Chains A and B, each alone.
Chain A
Amino acid sequence: MLEFLRSSAVRVAIAFVVATTVATTAIFGLVYFQIKAADQKSNRVILEDEAAKSVNHTIDELKYAFEVRLTHGLRRLDYAALFDADRKFMFGNIDELPAIPLDGKSHFVAASPVPGGDNRMEPAIFVARTRPDGSIMLLGRSLLETLAFRRIVQSALATGLAPMLLLALAIGAFFARRASRRLTTIHDTIARIMKGDMHLRLPVRSQHDAIDKISRDVNLMLDEIMRLLVQIKGVSDNIAHDLRSPLAVVHAQLERGLESSDSEELHGAARQALAHIDKAMLTIAALLRLADVEYGPKSSKFHTIDLSAICADLFEFYEPLATSKSVKMALEIQSPVQILGDGDLMREAVSNLIGNAIKFTPEGGTVRVSVAQEDGNPVVRVRDNGIGVEPAERDKIFQRFYRTASGHRVPGSGLGLSIAAAIANLHDFDLRFDDNHPGAVFEMAGRRK
């Protein structure tokens, strides 16, 4: 329970109730005092007004006027009487002059005998004024009705406030309970996720409040963590897999070398072992490179680069290699094709594609490199008319370490296309394979936005 009271949701609810109460009471109080003030003011004005008007009437006129006003006046008077200069009662419906100044202003008298009402007393206001002939005129109004009206307003306000508070309390409790239930759910879910239920996600409703927004963000974070975990596992599996066999080979070679008494044979074994280790290091470097590109922080070095210039540069770099293999190379560029990216990485990706194409194109073949802007989208294509890719293998070539059946005799880590694909992806490009009838087309195209 204490924990419940401490929870922020409950605190918010309590604050809500308190605030509602204070605000409501303030409004009700204001209404009440406004009514009271207005009522009092109108009473006083009526009396003083009346006293001022009647002060110069003759006695008879006054007598008549009193009768009329006391019985059926619109601006009702409850008390009217005239006293002589010695404060002796002359006529009217009140026998005794109350103890108020004779100044023509209204004064409150807490208890005044009700006219014709055998010893009953009531609160009233009176105006007393001296007439020119020395007699004293007294006018008064009972406050009984006014007070009754105030009491009605008071009780109305009071009875209104109670349900109001209950309602605020109920609403507050409802929200607090709901929020705390959601927070408890979230808390429990996170606890389960931390225990290893990595596939669980925080509940998200269709509404868009703050908790949902945070839940959604946390879920995205969890997705990303999941992805990274899977990838780390993948990378380490791959490293383990790709190192185990060369290590076993090296082990066997060195063992054989040591067992032999011929130093020439030991030398040969050591050389072979070294070659295997070099290949393994190349693979590790490629794997780490791949991991960097795929899961490293997005490079902060993105700026405007020209794909045409990059391809032209690589074309010049690779042409001698192609020529040495009697493979022709052709370059088709529209200049310039600018994108936002990392020049070093893009060069690496295109380098892998061109290197691959030359590797798999036999003598007399052609490798074409083209850069174009197609419907506003940058596209780099590397096509060859070499051995191509068997249909059954087409969706596997981007997998790590995958090497086509025909490609097994060609040296390489088998990671080149994976790295190229990862770099393309980092730049919001897609790397696709197509058939060139015969040969292969690798197309790296900017994704449509």
Chain B
Amino acid sequence: MSLTQATPKHLKPIVLVEDENGLADEIKIELERLGYLVQIASIAEAANSARVGDAAMMIMDRLVFGEDSLKTLEVLRKEGVKVPVLVISALSTVDERVHGLAAGGDDYLTKPFAMVELTARVEALLRRLDDLRTTKLQAGDLEMDLIEQAVHRGSVRIDLLPREFKLLEYFLRHPGQVITRAMLLQDVWHYHFSLETNVVDVHISNLRKKIDVRGHSSLILNIRGAGFMLNADA
């Protein structure tokens, strides 16, 4: 497989705090392959980068060298540092995720995870639409009016169930990003557990039936081994 080193998508690096060298290297390689700069750092170094605004985002292992990185994160948040933070952790107790988010994490990923799950979340955090006041979302000739709760494809109005609407909205808010099943479960249904069935796929295929136009490629693409992606060119 030949890969050309992509030009960095962000000028600022993603700061990675992870004491497991193997995992840190893998994360770095994978993110660099996707065109990001990655800087492996200690908690203190990461905090400094975040304070002076030198980090695009942070990926923090919950426990690094026996230290709870959430404490540092809490301090940073109190100081008003707004950098996006993805917390990764081997701690999976019932309340841990809640703790991670309460301390100021923007997302929480439990080890072991597939690399695509991590990269998808990194992309989502880096390209988060901070402006939630948007009233209209668009992809190709599909338009979603968030106030009217209406979806049109061209001039045709599409009727969606409330959950289908939410699902489509999520895709429209993350154009061109890989979206995993776990992300959909977590953000659209607010289910915080993993599933052994392909329910999410069935929901996606039902949504496709409603929004896709015959003869055109689907608006939602399957990404093999990863999840889905909004096809903005459809």
Show the binding face of A for B, using Cβ within 8 Å: 274, 278, 281-282, 284-286, 288-289, 292-293, 296-297, 299-301, 316-318, 320-321, 324, 342, 344-345, 347-348, 351, 355, 358-359, 411-413, 416
Contact = CB atoms under 8 A, between A and B. Distances in A.
B197 A359 contact: yes
Given A344-B193, A348-B193, A351-B191, A320 B199 contact: yes
A284 B189 contact: no
Given A320-B203, A344-B192, A292 B94 contact: yes
Contacts of B138: none
Contacts of A288: 92
A347 B198 CA distance: 17
A320 B92 contact: no
A361 B29 CA distance: 44
A357 to B, nearest CB: 11
What bracket does the count of chain B residues touching chain A fall in? Answer: 20 to 34
28 contacts: A281-B112, A281-B113, A281-B114, A284-B112, A285-B194, A286-B194, A289-B194, A292-B92, A292-B94, A296-B93, A297-B93, A299-B94, A317-B189, A318-B199, A320-B203, A321-B198, A344-B94, A344-B191, A345-B94, A347-B193, A348-B192, A348-B193, A351-B191, A355-B195, A359-B197, A411-B196, A412-B196, A413-B196
Given A278-B114, A285-B110, A285-B112, A321 B193 contact: no
A321 B199 CA distance: 5
A348 B192 CA distance: 8
A184 to B, nearest CB: 40
Contacts of A292: 92-94
Given A284-B112, A285-B112, A347-B191, A416 B95 contact: no
Contact of A351 (B98, B193, B203): B193
A40 to B, nearest CB: 81
Nearest to A278: B114
A324 B205 CA distance: 10
Contacts of A321: 197-199, 202
Nearest to A300: B95
Contact of B197 (A342, A344, A355): A355
Contacts of A300: 95
Which of B114, B197, B225 is packed against the most chain A CB atoms within 10 Å? Answer: B197
Contacts of B205: 324
Contact of A320 (B189, B194, B195, B202): B202
A201 B189 CA distance: 49
Given A300-B95, A301-B94, A413-B196, 16 more contacts: A285-B112, A288-B92, A292-B94, A296-B93, A296-B94, A297-B95, A299-B95, A317-B163, A320-B199, A321-B197, A344-B94, A344-B192, A348-B193, A359-B197, A411-B196, A412-B196
Nearest to B90: A288
B219 to A, nearest CB: 18
- Looking at chain A's contact residues, the main secondary structure is helix
Contacts of B217: none
A398 to B, nearest CB: 17
Interface string B188-223: 010111111111001101100000000000000000
Which of A278, A292, A342, A359 is packed against the most chain B CB atoms within 10 Å? Answer: A292
Contacts of A413: 196
A351 B193 CA distance: 9
A200 B77 CA distance: 51
Nearest to A288: B92
Contacts of A282: 194, 196
Nearest to B193: A348
B43 to A, nearest CB: 25
A351 B195 contact: yes
A289 B198 contact: no
Contacts of A324: 202, 205
A321 B114 CA distance: 25
Interface in B149-164: 163
Nearest to B94: A299
Contacts of A351: 191, 193, 195
Given A284-B112, A289-B193, A317 B199 contact: yes
A24 to B, nearest CB: 61
A293 to B, nearest CB: 7
A320 B94 contact: no
Nearest to B114: A278
Given A281-B112, A320-B206, A289 B92 contact: yes
A316 to B, nearest CB: 7
Which of A300, A344, A359, A416 is packed against the most chain B CB atoms within 10 Å? Answer: A344
A301 B197 contact: no
A318 B94 CA distance: 24
Interface string B135-173: 000000000000000000000000000010000000000
A51 to B, nearest CB: 96
Nearest to A410: B196
Which of A282, A317, A359 is packed against the most chain B CB atoms within 10 Å? Answer: A317
Nearest to B113: A281
A138 B203 CA distance: 128
A358 B198 CA distance: 11
A300 B95 CA distance: 8
Contacts of A342: 94
Contacts of B225: 274
A301 B95 contact: yes
A358 B197 contact: yes
Nearest to A359: B197
Contacts of A278: 114
A284 B196 CA distance: 13
B98 A301 contact: yes
